[in-house]
Amino acid sequence: MKDRLKRIWDWKPGMGVVAAAAVCLLLLLLVPLLRLALYAVPWYDDYNYGQFVKNFVDMERSIGSAVSGAVYCMKTQWYAWQGTFSSVFLCP
């Protein structure tokens, strides 16, 4: 019995076995992501969010201007109140 446990404990898989297991695990983990990807389709109003950020970044190329564009878009959506003012940061 001890001999068997020692053999199991000392077993080390080869590189091919580890690689095959990693690929199988990756494919298994990608299944839910691919199923959710069916619902991740951009709609016409999603492009408006990115347009503000693009215009601000075109004027001054910096992270701060991109954040300013997103904040400006958020304020615009707040005043128009479509219920999407908080999701502006998630779409661009």
- For 59-82, how does the pLDDT look when each residue is reduced to its tens digit (9 = 90+)? 888 888 888 888 888 888 776 765
DSSP secondary structure letters along the chain: -HHHHHHHHH----HHHHHHHHHHHHHHHHHHHHHHGGG----TTHHHHHHHHHHHHHHS-SHHHHHHHHHHHHHHHHHHT-S-GGGGGT--
pLDDT single digits (tens) 36-54? 888 877 777 677 778 888 8
